[in-house]
A and B are shown apart, each in its own frame.
Chain A
Amino acid sequence: KQEVTQIPAALSVPEGENLVLNCSFTDSAIYNLQWFRQDPGKGLTSLLLIQSSQREQTSGRLNASLDKSSGRSTLYIAASQPGDSATYLCAVRPRDDKIIFGKGTRLHILP
């Protein structure tokens, strides 16, 4: 049974710092992995998609890596800003008809 774990559960860092969020999954047989952002009480915004054959994807200050064989992904945020404060969710797609989420990392950037 595929399980997704995100560490840490919460993180507070001063503005301007670079930071890394971690995601691990138990079964390496996945189609892809997606990182989402969720603001309090809001929906899920897709940040990055990494296909199973890819090692990383970049969008602006965000960089996500994937090591499928070890069941790990990281989301790197460069030069953090207060507007980056949100919950970041990692989700794997083991097959077309299912997407499995981790519990998320709640990020707080201190001004």
Chain B
Amino acid sequence: EPEVTQTPSHQVTQMGQEVILRCVPISNHLYFYWYRQILGQKVEFLVSFYNNEISEKSEIFDDQFSVERPDGSNFTLKIRSTKLEDSAMYFCASSGTGGVTEAFFGQGTRLTVV
């Protein structure tokens, strides 16, 4: 079964520091996504990426966030200056196009900002 891989599984960082969350999507997928889930709350859409550019982003995805596909396999989410409220589980996902394809999610990176 194909899988989306995320690293690290847990990251602790000091407020104001930059963090990069990494993901390896499924190789033949075309759409890539980042979601976050604050403890006890719903899974929220952050951004989607297609054809090497952002396709859609939410109001959460402000100038502190950026995404990149640096080498054709990895997909990264960068938070430039972390805040306490950025503490959450971050999920990467990938999918093909159209309604016939499932979206597959990684196991998440738990980010703790102290």
Contacts and interface: CB of A to CB of B under 8 A. Distances in A.
Contact of A51 (B33, B50, B89, B99): B99
The secondary structure that dominates the B interface is strand
Contact of A43 (B33, B41, B45, B91): B91
Contacts of B106: 43
B102 A49 contact: yes
B27 to A, nearest CB: 18
A99 B93 contact: yes
B9 to A, nearest CB: 10
Q: In the complex, which range does the number of interface residues on chain A fall in?
A: 20 to 34
B104 interface: yes
Interface of A: 30-32, 34, 36, 41-46, 49, 51-53, 89, 91, 93, 96-104
Given A42-B108, A44-B91, A89-B43, A99 B103 contact: yes
Given A98-B48, A101-B43, A46 B100 contact: no
Contact of B103 (A41, A93, A102): A93
Q: Report, nearest first, the 4 A-B pairs whose CB atoms are least far apart.
A: A31-B99, A43-B107, A97-B55, A97-B48
A96 B98 contact: yes
B25 to A, nearest CB: 14
